[in-house]
Chain A
């Protein structure tokens, strides 16, 4: 099992550009979570999916952020347009029932 796979590992982009972060959850895990980690705010839950359906997106900071899960093996988090304050590490995690979370290695986003 390769674990939760996120790409890219690092992304540097200019303000105003569109950014797409990708996540492949562990096969068989039916819940997927996107978190953002910053020094100021720590780890924040942005959105989570259950069986590919968005359940709670109350943590998504603005309309510039959107997330999709078109199938059980893939999810994207998109920021359009990106701003410098979006710079953070974005983590994807998946889970199969109970409390068994597995986190990806994260995408470090820098918006200049």
Chain B
């Protein structure tokens, strides 16, 4: 079946530091890959996505590249801000139903 393995948290960084959150996946067929962000007390918001191999998703300074050869979709940001503090979820969808399968989430805290 499908599964997503995400870097364990929590992650604590200083403002303007470089961020990487690792994500690898197992899926049948050709999944789409996503990063969702959850701010305290809120639902999940789509941060970025990629639908095929070598695609790069980007939004708000975050980037992730769909790597089929390593089955990875690592999230990166060159300079984090305090406002980026949240929980980040890697996810995939595949098959005819396109149901989302989530990783366990990574709590990011950015200190001023």
Contact = CB atoms under 8 A, between A and B. Distances in A.
Interface of A: 4, 33, 42-43, 45, 48, 50, 55-56, 91, 93, 95, 98-99, 101, 103-106
B42 A105 contact: yes
Given A99-B49, A99-B51, A99-B93, A45 B42 contact: no
B53 to A, nearest CB: 16
B104 A91 contact: no
Given A91-B44, A99-B49, A42 B97 contact: no
B92 to A, nearest CB: 10
Nearest to A50: B97
A45 B101 CA distance: 8
Interface string B14-54: 00000000000000000010100000011111100101000
A36 to B, nearest CB: 11
A101 B101 CA distance: 12
18 contacts: A4-B43, A33-B100, A43-B89, A43-B105, A48-B99, A56-B97, A91-B44, A93-B100, A95-B98, A99-B34, A99-B51, A99-B93, A103-B44, A103-B45, A105-B41, A105-B43, A106-B42, A106-B43
- The A interface, classified by DSSP as helix, strand, loop or mixed, is strand
Contacts of B102: 42-43
Contact of A98 (B42, B98, B100): B98
B43 A101 contact: no
Given A55-B97, A99-B32, A103-B43, A42 B103 contact: yes
